[in-house]
Structure formats: structure tokens, C-alpha cells
Amino acid sequence: MASVDKGPASPVVDIDVLEYIGGHTVNSSLSSAVPLARPTLATHLWIQPLTQNVRLRTDGGIPTAAIGFQLAAGTIYEVPVLTGAVQVIEETASASIQYQWIRRR
């Protein structure tokens, strides 16, 4: 974390430095498990299911419509990712996601 000195009357405040890694991506082909390749410098994934719930796994396993972390449609999630093994699948037909890899320092 970086420190910001706001002057002699203010305490030092720790802040995260956020860096976008790669582009903002939309995917609506989620009927089978889809790997989301982690760029080398990325530490976190922002992901938002748009139309239907999806399932997410970060342990290298393959998600199914019933197995994996359930991500509710309309919610933006920040997921810490230490490996490149992220996969997502729709719970029901017609799911779509947006995602962005980021780096927190």
C-alpha cells in the first residue's frame, strides 16, 4: 500500500494503488465452463454477471451449474486470484458477464 501525507495537521493514510490489466471484456458464451486467463501482473478480478447467475471456481476445478461460487446477476464482485485457474459457467441459459483484471499494490 502507498502512503499519502496530507500535511502536518493530517495523519498518514494508506491507500491502494489500482492498475487495470488488459481490457474490459464481455462474454455471453457460458453454456460450458470458460477459463478466464489471468494476466501475469493481475492480482484481482472484477466480474459482474449481467442477466443470469453464474458459478465461478478459482481452485483449478471445473464449475457446473450447481458447483462453484454463485455470483448473482447484477452484482459486481472483486475476487482475489493467486493462480491463473479461474473458470466460470452459467447456471441457466443466456447468462452474460463483464470482467476486468486489475492489480492492487
Residue 86 lies in a domain: yes
Non-local (6+) Cβ contacts of 9 within 8 A are none
Residue 2 lies in a domain: no
Quick one: average pLDDT of 68-77?
97
pLDDT, residue 41, reads 92
What is the tally of structural domains in the chain?
1
Q: Which CATH number fits the domain that encloses residue 64?
A: 2.60.120.770
Look up the domain containing 94 and give its range. 17-104
Residue 98 lies in a domain: yes
Alpha-carbon distance of 79 to 100, in angstroms, equals: 11
Quick one: average pLDDT of 72-97?
94
89 by Cβ neighbours in 10 Å (0-12 / 13-18 / 19+) ranks as buried
Residue 1 lies in a domain: no
Residue 8 lies in a domain: no
pLDDT bucket at 12, cuts 50 / 70 / 90: low
What single-letter amino acid sits at 32? Answer: S
Non-local (6+) Cβ contacts of 40 within 8 A are none
Non-local (6+) Cβ contacts of 29 within 8 A are none
Residue 27 lies in a domain: yes
